[in-house]
Amino acid sequence: MKLAFGCDHGGFPAKNELIEFLIEKGYEVIDCGTFSDESCDYPDYAEKVCKLVTEKECEKGILICGTGIGMSIVANKISGIRCAHVTDEFSAEMTRRHNDTNVIALGARITSTENIIKLVDIFLNTPFDGGRHAIRVEKINSFDK
């Protein structure tokens, strides 16, 4: 699976460990930045990641900022993206099972790197349940028009 990854300065401290984990698990990762801990604008990185997902160059996207909130807001403004801001294991599982999300947003200032890795692993390895949830996802997608 090919993944797009993006972070701002708030997410930068978790970046290398997460990308290393993903590569060890066999994922191909496109790193959209940022590439330092200097202050930057998270919308720029969310847009790059989401573009790769909507253009189907990557199957899923991972966004990390200080809280994950800003990244999730930006991502959900982009047509074709269903992004969830995730802080716990249950939400990481259910956002895939019930919402078929294609992007996850996390906060490095509120979630440890160890837990970010765990949440991303759950997100990437949980399938969409389909069934009645597919009807709901279709309704969500209808708002993109």
Catalytic pick among 58, 65, 83, 85: 65
Active site residue 40: no
Tokens, residue 33: 């930045």
- Can you tell me the distance from the alpha carbon of 145 to that of 141, in angstroms, rounded to the nearest whole number? 8
Active site residue 58: no
pTM above 0.85, yes or no: yes
Residue with tokens 């972070």: 7
Tokens, residue 27: 């994922």
Q: Does residue 145 register a pLDDT over 80?
A: no
- Can you tell me the distance from the alpha carbon of 72 to that of 32, in angstroms, rounded to the nearest whole number? 16
- Specify the pLDDT at position 125: 98
Which amino acid, 18? L
- 103-125 per-position pLDDT tens digit: 999 999 999 999 999 999 999 99
Cβ neighbours, 10 Å, residue 93: 16
- Specify the pLDDT at position 144: 84
- Report residue 82 CA to chain centroid gap: 9
- Specify the pLDDT at position 74: 98
- 56-96 per-position pLDDT tens digit: 999 999 999 999 999 999 999 999 999 999 999 999 999 99
Mean pLDDT on 2-31: 97
Q: How far is CA 65 from CA 5, 57, 110, 112, 140, in A?
A: 11, 22, 10, 12, 25
- 34-67 per-position pLDDT tens digit: 999 999 999 999 999 999 999 999 999 999 999 9
- Specify the pLDDT at position 36: 96
- Specify the pLDDT at position 2: 98
- Can you tell me the distance from the alpha carbon of 107 to that of 37, in angstroms, rounded to the nearest whole number? 15
